[in-house]
Amino acid sequence: MSWNLGPLHLSAALPYIVQTMQKGDAVILLQEVLIRKGTTVKVRRKLRHMFPMYECYIAAGSHVDEGNNENDKTLVEEYARNKAQITVVTFLHKRVFQTNALARTWYKSRDMSALEHMAQNRVLWLEAKTHDNTSISIVNEHQATAKRHDLQRQVTLLLRAVIDAVLLQRRIMGGDFNAALSRYGYAQSISALYDKVDKFFQDFVHSMHGTLIESEAHTRRDLLRGLRASLDHIITWNLTCTNTCTMQSSTSKVHWVGAECNDHAFISCTVGGDLLTYRKGQVVGGRPGELKLTKQLPRIQSKLNVITSPIAQETRRSYMAVECSAEQAMVQMIAVRVTTARKLMHEKPEGRSN
């Protein structure tokens, strides 16, 4: 799953993140998650506490794309006033992946000047391992704006060099590539630029023998100007399916579920077959104090049921709509109930005072 959440700040985007996390996807890639400068560690700790079934990895940048029009410049000034950082966040499910994924630097120090702000954590490259010790690269990319085709090209060529060095590596690359397979409503005067940007992206996928999972509809829209484009993509390498029940998707589903100001949809698809399915026996979110929680369960049981019942109904709806498997639904609900129970456990029982 991949989603550009701009221009929402994390506090406003969090309810929508919670909603999408309930699906229990193995890999979740978020872009343009706005956080205040200097809060990366605090935010990571908060997200790990909220979603104990996932390991959270954050790359916080310090720049927003600036184009040639007044809207872009206004956005830069607004982010600067609010001291916001554009952040890339990757969640890996603990029932699928080991929790020691390593962040990889995809460029050399001599490239930093040419990469400008793209060298400041706009691409998060992780080397992860499943519980079967299968190595897989997870790349979360928030590409430069199409108006900076020169910068897009520089980023792509460096990523290509890393991929080219290990052609047989299993790999998932997803995010907002700011390059489209199709566009609608764009002015003829700038079509030449977008044609060049889009062709370069498509040539990259084809020449590197990647599998591009096309979106079933446009993923980015500007309602005021009537513009639509498919800018968000998932690309895979060497993920051969071995389980006919979880064949790789031919297209990505497009979901418009965010706030009205969100101009990107989130996309979801199935990749990797049984490689990315949950493994039995893996503990999710286990922490010291579980025995204490079990002892207090009778006291909080009724309140716990009231709080988690709506979430259970939504999870059941997702299962009935074949948006998740029965096992994913079960694991998700267990994690939600455990997290909620921990919070209730620390509340004072009614009638008790200091």
Interior/surface letters 206-236, b for 16+ CB within 10 angstroms, e for the rest: eebebebbbbebbbbbeeeeebbbbbbbbbb
- Architecture of domain 2-276 in this structure: 4-Layer Sandwich (3.60)
pTM for this prediction: 0.77
Sign of CA dihedral 298, 46, 25, 165: negative
Backbone angles phi, psi at 170, to 5 degrees: -70, 140
Assigned token pair, 77: 């000034």
Mean pLDDT by 10 residues, the chain (354 residues): 89 88 91 88 91 93 54 52 78 94 94 91 95 95 94 96 94 96 91 94 94 93 93 91 51 89 92 74 48 61 86 82 67 76 68 44
**Would you state the pLDDT for residue 243?**
42
Q: Where in the chain is the domain with CATH 3.60.10.10?
A: 2-276
**Would you state the pLDDT for residue 296?**
66
Alpha-carbon distances of 6 from 192, 261, 268, 321, rounded to whole Å: 26, 8, 18, 28
Residues 142 and 32 sit within 8 Å (Cβ to Cβ): yes
Q: How many CB atoms lie within 10 A of CB 263?
A: 16
Among 88, 27, 91, residue whose Cα is nearest residue 271: 27
**Would you state the pLDDT for residue 25?**
92
Rounded CA-CA distance 326/39 in Å is: 37
Among 96, 167, 166, 174, residue whose Cα is nearest residue 134: 96
**Would you state the pLDDT for residue 241?**
47
Assigned token pair, 127: 């080397």
